[in-house]
């Protein structure tokens, strides 16, 4: 049996999305920047996809810019905000995705910004009182906080963060890669300047994402070389990817509640079965359903010999998951997220992440193999 429980890393491409993309590949090959009929046909497809994404997120198509993925969109938002608005202070957390964390760390090393980290509780939740203090005491800031942590699944109240940023005239960027297509986003009401999404996290193709830029601000392009994306991103558009992204997001919105109920039930069932089967496990991060991303479950297992072989053991049994442990003292190897919440570095942790395609039978099989790995009878 083969079980895929690493959907937070990437999801399988939906067959209907693939068929939509293949139809474009077979019949529409013009360059969307060309003014002849072949080019105009493809330009129409790109703009139709932009309109679909914008309508689903309740914003104007002019505010959506397609990118190569979440990392490019995060980099664009952060670097352009700092360079174009003269910002010298940024606020983030120690559990952000490396696309955000590494970018801000580099800018600090270059002397372009002072970087502050908002406090976290033991589960990895944002301390909003500390966030407000940081906003009060450092002049105009860039705040970069993800909506859902990709390892723990913790949800940040980005509506609350947006209100705080508006109060203190801060620029707010949020990486919503893990929540896009799993929760509804109303960008007409959300007080965010930048929002980021990636298609391959919601059964769309790899290599395509988007950056939402609030119409109240203007930034200069980070990638130069052409007039594509309304002069904001040079380079020929990934037409097939863009069309696939729009289709995947459309499908995600159409069946969102059904998929949420199915996946949340699988997550709850797995927690229940693991607690029954393996003593002394605990859940890393937030456990309350309304505070945790329903697609992610991070489990801390008991100490075991060759703990680093746990993922390999799952792999040889046909189970794909991801994880690791907190960084050991003096070592850079390990999860910066688990280290930030003071997880025990001697205990292995595994992130199981679910999709609409997973089944209860797959959970039973996975729990059984984990039971064997820990020698439980």
Question: Cβ of 112: how many Cβ atoms within 10 Å?
Answer: 16
Confirm if 14 and 357 have CB atoms less than 8 A apart: no
Closest CA to 190 of 158, 213, 212: 158
Confirm if 153 and 323 have CB atoms less than 8 A apart: no
Phi, psi of 6 (to 5 degrees): -130, 45
Measured N-to-C along each axis, helices 239-254 and 37-56 cross at an angle, to the nearest 10 degrees, of: 30
In the set 80, 165, 300, 327, the catalytic residue is 327
Phi, psi of 329 (to 5 degrees): -55, 130
* 1, burial (CB in 10 Å: exposed 0-12, middle 13-18, buried 19+): exposed
Q: Which residues contact 338 (CB under 8 A, 6 or more apart)?
A: 151, 284, 324, 325, 326, 327, 349
Alpha-carbon span 261 to 269, nearest angstrom: 12
Closest CA to 64 of 190, 248, 205, 242: 242
Distances (CA, A) of 58 to 113, 166, 217, 242, 376: 33, 20, 18, 18, 51
Closest CA to 50 of 262, 182, 242: 242
Closest CA to 340 of 139, 111, 98, 99: 98
Residue with tokens 């859940």: 283
Question: Cβ of 197: how many Cβ atoms within 10 Å?
Answer: 29
* 313, burial (CB in 10 Å: exposed 0-12, middle 13-18, buried 19+): middle
Question: Cβ of 126: how many Cβ atoms within 10 Å?
Answer: 21
Q: Is the dihedral of CA 44, 50, 56, 60 positive or negative?
A: negative
327 is catalytic: yes
Confirm if 239 and 66 have CB atoms less than 8 A apart: no
The residues that are catalytic are: 327
């Amino acid at each position: 049996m083969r079980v895929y429980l690493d959907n937070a890393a990437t999801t399988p491409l939906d067959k209907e999305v693939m068929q939509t993309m293949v139809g474009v590949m077979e019949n529409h090959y013009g360059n969307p920047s060309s003014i002849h009929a072949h080019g105009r046909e493809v330009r129409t497809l790109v703009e139709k996809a932009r309109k679909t994404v914008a309508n689903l997120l309740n914003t104007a198509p002019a505010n959506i810019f397609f990118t190569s993925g979440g990392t490019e969109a995060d980099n664009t938002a952060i670097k352009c905000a700092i360079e174009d608005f003269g910002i010298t202070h940024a606020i983030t957390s120690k559990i952000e995705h490396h696309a955000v964390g590494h970018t801000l760390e580099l800018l600090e090393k270059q002397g372009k910004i002072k970087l502050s980290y908002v406090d976290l509780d033991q589960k990895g939740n944002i301390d909003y009182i500390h966030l407000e203090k940081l906003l009060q005491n450092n002049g105009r800031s860039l705040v970069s906080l993800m909506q859902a942590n990709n390892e723990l699944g913790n949800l940040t109240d980005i509506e609350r963060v947006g209100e705080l940023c508006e109060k203190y005239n801060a620029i707010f960027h949020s990486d919503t890669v893990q929540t896009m297509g799993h929760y509804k986003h109303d960008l007409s009401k959300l007080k965010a300047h930048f929002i980021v999404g990636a298609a391959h996290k919601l059964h769309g193709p790899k290599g395509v994402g988007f950056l939402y830029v609030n119409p109240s601000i203007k930034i200069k392009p980070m990638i130069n070389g052409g007039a594509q994306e309304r002069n904001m991103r040079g380079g020929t558009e990934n037409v097939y990817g863009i069309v696939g992204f729009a289709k995947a997001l459309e499908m995600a919105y159409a069946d969102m509640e059904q998929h949420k109920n199915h996946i949340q039930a699988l997550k709850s069932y797995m927690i229940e079965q693991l607690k029954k089967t393996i003593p002394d496990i605990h859940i890393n991060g937030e456990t309350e359903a309304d505070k945790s991303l329903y697609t992610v479950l991070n489990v801390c297992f008991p100490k075991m010999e060759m703990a680093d072989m746990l993922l390999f053991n799952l792999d040889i049994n046909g189970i794909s998951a991801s994880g690791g442990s907190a960084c050991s003292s003096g070592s850079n190897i390990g999860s910066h997220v688990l280290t930030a919440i003071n997880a025990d570095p001697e205990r292995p942790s595994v992130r199981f992440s679910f999709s609409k395609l997973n089944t209860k039978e797959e959970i039973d099989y996975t729990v059984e193999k984990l039971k064997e790995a820990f020698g439980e009878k």
